[in-house]
Amino acid sequence: MFKYQTGLSTTGIVLLVVGIIAALFAGNALYKNLGSNDGANQEYPGQPERSAEESSARQQQMEPPRPPTQADGSTKQALIDKAKLGMKASFDIPDNAGFNIDIVLLDVPYGGSRQDVVCGTIKTEDKSDTQSGPARFVWRSSEPAELEDDGNKALFQLAWSLFCQN
C-alpha cells in the first residue's frame, strides 16, 4: 500500500511543478504586454471604460515633468519687484537696500506644486551708514523668503542648492 501512495504523490508533485511553470510563462507574457506601448492604453475584460477626460489625465501623468525655465523680460522684472517687496516685508529691510539678482526661475517643481524663485544677494545700510556684508537670499512665490544668517546656515544652504544652482 505504501508503494501506491508514493507513486501517486510523485505524479501530483510533477503536475504541480508543470502547473507552476505554465503559470510563470503566462504571467511573463502578460507582464510583457503591459510594459509595451501598445498595451499601455489597452482595455481588459471587466475593466470599466475610461472617459476622454480620464484618458487625457492619465496621459498627462505619464509625461515627464517639465523643467523650470528662466524668466525673461517683463515677467522677470515683475518677479524681481515682487521678491524685493517680500524681502523688505519679511525682514524689515530699508528701501535703500541694494539687491543683486543672480537667477529668476519660473515653474520650479517643489512639494507637489510649482512656484517661481528669485535668488540673489542683498546689502543694507543701517541708520549710522554702516554697511552690512552681502547676504544671500532665496525668495519663492509660495513660501516665506529666506535670508542667510548665522541661525539657519544649514537650512539656507539646502534651499540655495535646491533652487539657485543650475
Cα–Cα dist 25/29, whole Å: 6
CA–CA separation, 129 vs 49, rounded Å?
71
- Mean of all residue pLDDT scores within the chain: 74
92-116: pLDDT as tens digits:
787 778 899 998 888 888 888 888 9
pLDDT tens readout for residues 130-166: 667 788 999 998 888 888 887 888 888 988 998 888 6
The one-letter code for the residue type at 99 is F
Query: What are the cell numbers at 82?
Result: 515682487
Q: Please state, as a whole number, how many other Cβ atoms lie within 10 Å of the Cβ of residue 36.
A: 9
Asked if 139 and 86 touch (Cβ cutoff 8 Å), the reply is: yes
* Rounded average pLDDT over 74-89: 86
Alpha-carbon distance of 23 to 117, in angstroms, equals: 53
C-alpha to C-alpha distance for 105 and 80, rounded to whole angstroms? 11
